[in-house]
Amino acid sequence: MGDELLNLTIDGVRVSVPKGTLVIEAAKQAGVLVPHYCYHPGLPVAGLCRMCLVEIEKAPKLQIACATQAAEGMVVRTQSPQAKSGRMGVLELLLINHPLDCPICDQAGECELQDFTFQEGRPATRYSPHYAKRFNPVEDFGPDVLYVPNRCILCTRCVRFMEDVAKEPVLNVSERGDRAYIGIHSEGRLDHPWAGNVVDLCPVGSLLSKDFLHKARAWELDKTASICTGCSQGCNVTLDTRENVIVRVRPRSNLEVNRFFICDHGRMNYRWMNRGDRIEAPLVRRGGELHATDWDEALDFVASRMRGAGGRAVALVSPRVSTEALFFARELFRGLEWSGAFQVVMGEEAPLAGVPNLALRAERAPNASGAELLGYSREYAAAVATAETAAVVLVLDEPDIAVRTAGALIYVGTVLPERARDAQAVLPIANVAEEEGTYVNRDGRVQRYFQAKSAPGMARPAWWVFSELVTALSGGPGGHVGTAAEAFDRLAASVEAFRGLSYAQLGFGGAPTPVATVVPA
């Protein structure tokens, strides 16, 4: 490895890659995806499916691109007749025992066996109808994983994940020859906290998620880049949406944060995003009761209460709301004596042993670092106590809040808890799946999440709500904020810890904060 670059030609395209790069990775740079099954960049090379056969000039026979290192002057042909025929042969053999049950298989539409067969397989099999296909019953591997051995192509990605990444080899290859299957000990369970990754890794529909079983067809899903809200690790995820309902969470690769994986806690942490009991309109207190109204009146209402307020303000915020919302909520109280705090639900830490600095973190909050960088404190109980005598208390999406105050209570949230019925105003906001924004993970990395579905009723992103209030109160030095990008850029321009970052620059992979220290409030 190192800085030394090698030049090679792949399908006529010249590419330069660092020494040690595998041909299959070098090919990606030439815009060539060499078909493969056992190879996965997050797993040790196995070189056994033999799908990625390519022709390499001067080599006496076809080579596998996944186990061959690029060399200076190498000439690779992925589309030569020999290479294509070699791969076609592999596809035919993979299919002889594979059932034609795509119509009832969850993997259909995102199946690598389908895709590569469509791309370069034989139009028809020469195996059936003369010979019976191998049959083994479906097995229950663990809390969320079913094994359908008939569809298995023995690529061993799952076995290698458990052995080399999770470091808990609970899966094996059992038996040999064409009798082989993925096995588990009769007393074993696939219940490792990161076990669900085997379902994503499986290139075919052999390992299935019980949670997603027969829930949707892959081609019906809209995919949106997001950030997991399960803990402070900040794993990059994709939210799969079907008709405005999140139906699945899958890892999105980010080598700096979660490589290719997410934990099961994060994977299952999406049902609340589909909650039906949402606040759909702003509510303001009139004549002792909360009345639904429009945003203009609601914002005026809150602004007028705040304009008259003197003394102390308290903000009790959720560490699951966007950095932008936290920023504008803070701006709202600029000039007032202010204390902001958040609380973090704690759980058990569950590391993925084979990947450094990757774990389900004990802190089950995606934006605790963002809150800290913006001056919110962890002294939550103290802030709740202060709230009793404060003039204005803002509660931001903490439905379980137990706050009493003599002042004006403004509740901004997704759902309306019983206690919030005492509020002067209740403002409906979008949840993480319904807006754009950023989180700052435990390592100080700012990462964007995108909108996966529409917000119910009149709910708006929290950053919009607060920025409008700021504008209403101050005349707004920067004017209205129309997009999440503007919101972030406003934040980056005024908070030292974010200085120099731009929303566009964050892209899909995020960027570390230049100053990962807490700014003085």
Q: How far is the CB of 115 from another protein (least distance, A)?
A: 17
How many positions of this chain bind another protein (CB under 8 A)? 54
Residue among 69, 79, 78 at smallest CA distance from 21: 69
User: Which of 81, 103, 123, 177 touches another protein (CB under 8 A)?
Assistant: 177
Closer Cβ to another protein, 74 or 302, answer by number: 74
Closer Cβ to another protein, 49 or 358, answer by number: 49
Q: How far is the CB of 271 from another protein (least distance, A)?
A: 25
56 binds another protein (CB under 8 A): no
Contact call for residues 168 and 159 (beta carbons, < 8 A): no
443 binds another protein (CB under 8 A): no
Spatial neighbors of 331 by CB under 8 A, at least 6 apart, are 466, 467, 470
How far is the first Cα of the chain from the last one, in angstroms, to the nearest whole number? 45
110 binds another protein (CB under 8 A): no
Burial class (CB in 10 A: 0-12, 13-18, 19+), 282: buried
Q: How is residue 306 written in tokens?
A: 């705040």
388 binds another protein (CB under 8 A): no
175 binds another protein (CB under 8 A): yes
97 binds another protein (CB under 8 A): yes
Distance (Å, rounded) from C-alpha 370 to C-alpha 164?
33
Distance (Å, rounded) from C-alpha 44 to C-alpha 164?
7
81 binds another protein (CB under 8 A): no
Distance (Å, rounded) from C-alpha 516 to C-alpha 442?
10
Closer Cβ to another protein, 82 or 517, answer by number: 82
Closer Cβ to another protein, 59 or 255, answer by number: 59
Contact call for residues 152 and 181 (beta carbons, < 8 A): yes
353 binds another protein (CB under 8 A): no
Stretch binding another protein (CB under 8 A), from 183-191, 230-238, 257-265, 437-445: 183-191
304 binds another protein (CB under 8 A): no
User: Which of 52, 54, 76, 153 touches another protein (CB under 8 A)?
Assistant: 153
Long-range contacts from 118-123, C-beta under 8 angstroms, 24+ separation = 119/35, 120/35, 120/84, 120/87, 120/88, 120/91, 121/88, 121/91, 121/92, 121/95, 122/88, 122/91, 122/92
170 binds another protein (CB under 8 A): yes
Contact pattern from residue 114 through residue 133 relative to another protein, giving x for each residue in contact according to CB under 8 A and a dash for the rest? ------------xx--xx--
96 binds another protein (CB under 8 A): yes
Distance (Å, rounded) from C-alpha 410 to C-alpha 506?
32
Beta strand 245-251 with 408-413: parallel, antiparallel or unpaired?
unpaired
Closer Cβ to another protein, 201 or 401, answer by number: 201
57 binds another protein (CB under 8 A): no
Closer Cβ to another protein, 151 or 330, answer by number: 151
Q: Give strand pairing partners of 339.
A: 314
Beta strand 511-512 with 445-449: parallel, antiparallel or unpaired?
antiparallel
168 binds another protein (CB under 8 A): yes
Which DSSP state fits 69? B
183 binds another protein (CB under 8 A): yes
166 binds another protein (CB under 8 A): no
Query: Where does this chain bind another protein (CB under 8 A)?
Result: 45-51, 53, 61-62, 64, 67, 86, 89-90, 92-94, 96-97, 126-127, 130-131, 136-140, 146, 148, 153-154, 163, 168-181, 183-188
